[in-house]
Structure 1
Amino acid sequence: MSNERRYVDLLFRASKKFASWDPEKHFEVGDWGRLTTGRPFWAFWRPKRCVFVKEGNIYQDKIAEKYGIPLPKVLGEENPNELTWVTSLNVRDMDVSTSMGKQTPELAECSVKVGFQFVSGGGEAAVLLMVNDSVTTIDPATSLRQLLGEEALRDRVVVSEAHRCASYASYLASSKTKDVVIGLSSKASEGSSSTQAYPRWVRTNKTGYFKGKADNSSERKYYPLYKLVSVKAAGGNTGRHSLDSTMNGEVPPEVLPLPDALPLWMSST
């Protein structure tokens, strides 16, 4: 299993959201399309991935307007320097003061940092850190159920929620890693001839797979996490009821949101 698949799988099982392996790839809430393996059918030896291929956007295509689906809302814009994170189920938050002996002077001076412990015997673990994170979402989520009436979207997936941030870090820990502290440093790197400081991610160990981007602007230009829903009915409930049943005093069925889309290796279809 590739690092990408392990990372996506671990964070999806914890959050029911897709962690992007390429957070610089731009997408918007309302984008719709398909999930593919990211490989041609004849290249069976290549690792199976789960790639979202955009085909349109329900707002740009006027589909949302047709069904009365509200415009997306943006949450979290009021905390520009806040650090947020998503972890796999086998990760626990750790008091960074307990690992001061392991921290480099640069890491110790980071004002933005967090520590994690990995459950013994829990296998590999995944962590996603985001600075200046905002969440764009469609509320209520049940409004997307109207898309069941749109033939073009049948058996497609829709981006119903998206995270955007100014800096991100992705970490995939090996099964032998016990803990890690990750911070965002603003000091000039050692050996650099420039006195200008550029933010960069630092951590207590070099094991596992790590990648990240840091920016000294507040611009949210990375898209590290998003939620997909499937345009298909779950449990036979279309979310609609007849006027006659309402007039007769019958209780209409509960309107459920569209089911979560699953990574292809988790899907039974």
Structure 2
Amino acid sequence: MKYESRKFIDLIQRATSKWANWDPPKNIAVGDYGTIINETGEFDWEGNIYSPHVQEQLKLSKYKLNINLADPELRPNEQETGNNHFIVKSWGVATKEINASADVAVLGVVNVALKLDLQFDGNKPGAVLVMHKPRYSSLPHDERLTRLLKSMPGVLKGKYIVTEVISCAAYMMHLSDQKEEKFSVTLEAVGPVTPGINTGGTASFTWSSEAAYGLSRKGCDLGVKYMPLYRLKIPRPKFWEWPSSHRGDEKINDVINRREDVDPPWGPLDNEGEEHEFYDAVRYRCFY
């Protein structure tokens, strides 16, 4: 497969409307803006709305907005999901959780095991993404942020905005190789879980799997914050139109609805991750 990253990202995006980060240790933050690289499917970062640069641009804007991005109410919302695991799978992938336990070994130390049976039907490539201890970070629904975005069309128009990031303590991703395959994935985490109790060790994670085909990636380093999944939004064209005086102020819900999920910039992909020639031909006739 020529572009494994694009095929994996495409499969996950079609299953969740969210975008997979092919390199989860790479930082992707709420408020980032940029575009998607067509050949690889990866996010091409250009800036962040919380940066000092944007704060300076606000001061120079003709709209003279007095918005302090350090205001806690404007900062990204952080939230635990309450679930130990978040599993995403594309069509043609079956998962079965065969063991999930939390067995206390000694005071303040817990052994947590996740064991999954994965099955790929082999008719076409399949993708699966497993996250342990997922945590959400999202852009708050605040009218001041909406006005900030609307005041900077020269910077943000045509750009995708990261509105949500799902981070985790450990991840595993697998892209099948068009072969029927069954294998198991196991995550074990050992370490102190009770604050204030020193058991003489630190927490650690271990992944193990038995995949014979395809491409697998995994991470479980406690010194790294993994970011395997994120959501992209793009304002609709009319978003950039400020309301006329006779219309009055826009309702915040109406403004929020003017940002929609980003679709892949490529056409339907074949099993090798290439765009279908038929689709390219149709697109060529229609637009050129």
Same fold at TM > 0.5: yes
Write out per-residue CA displacement over residues 145-192 of structure 1, whole angstroms, 9 at most, x where no aligned residue: 5424412111111111111112111111233224433111469xxxxx
Q: Which runs of 5+ in 1 are unaligned?
A: 38-47, 98-108, 188-195
More strand by share: 2
Q: Would you say the 8 A contact 1:229–1:259 is kept in 2? A: yes
TM-score if structure 2 supplies the norm length?
0.66
Alignment of 1:223-242 (within 5 A): 223-233=227-237, 236=238, 241-242=243-244
Task: State the TM-score, normalized to the length of structure 1.
Answer: 0.70
Residue 132 to residue 95, structure 1, CA distance change in 2 (3 Å): closer
Contact 2:136 2:165 in 1 (8 A): yes
From 159, 163, 167, the equivalent of 1:160 is: 163
**Residue 192 (structure 1) aligns with:** none
Query: 1:1-269, aligned counterparts within 5 Å?
Result: 1-37=2-38, 48-60=39-51, 61-62=54-55, 66=67, 70-76=74-80, 82-96=84-98, 111-119=113-121, 121=123, 123-140=124-141, 145-146=146-147, 147-150=149-152, 151-185=154-188, 199-215=205-221, 217=222, 221-233=225-237, 236=238, 241-242=243-244, 244-245=246-247, 254-255=254-255, 256-266=257-267
In structure 2, the CA distance between the partners of 1:175 and 1:152, relative to structure 1 (3 Å rule), is: same
Paired letter, 1:127: V
Amino acid corresponding to residue 180 of structure 1 in structure 2: F
1:164·1:224 contact (CA, 8 Å) conserved in 2? yes
State the Cα distance separating 1:209 from its structure 2 match.
1.2
* 1:114-138 CA-partner distances (Å, limit 9, x unpaired): 23344574x2110111112111011
Q: CA 1:6 to 1:242, structure 2 compared with 1: closer, same or farther past 3 Å?
A: same
Q: Displacement, 1:72?
A: 1.1
Shift in CA distance, 144/246, structure 1 to aligned 2, threshold 3 Å: closer
The residue aligned with 1:102 is: none
* Inter-partner Cα distance in structure 2 for 1:140 and 1:197: 36
Q: SS state of the match for residue 93, structure 1?
A: strand
8 Å contact kept, 2:22–2:42: no
Post-superposition offset of 1:50: 2.5
Per-residue deviation, 1:204:
4.1
Residues matched between the structures, number: 230
Write out per-residue CA displacement over residues 199-250 of structure 1, whole angstroms, 9 at most, x where no aligned residue: 33222432221111123x3x561111111112442xx466865553469xxx
Q: Distance in 2 between matches of 1:120 and 1:205?
A: 14
CA distance in 1: counterparts of 2:143 and 2:91, whole angstroms: 27
> Is the Cα–Cα contact under 8 Å of residues 148 and 232 in structure 1 kept in the other structure?
no
Q: What RMSD in Å do the two structures reach over aligned CA positions?
A: 3.7
- Partner of residue 195, structure 2: none
Identical aligned residues as a percent: 26
Q: 1:142 to 1:265 in 2, by over 3 A?
A: farther
Q: Give the unaligned 5+ runs of structure 2.
A: 59-64, 100-110, 191-201, 269-282
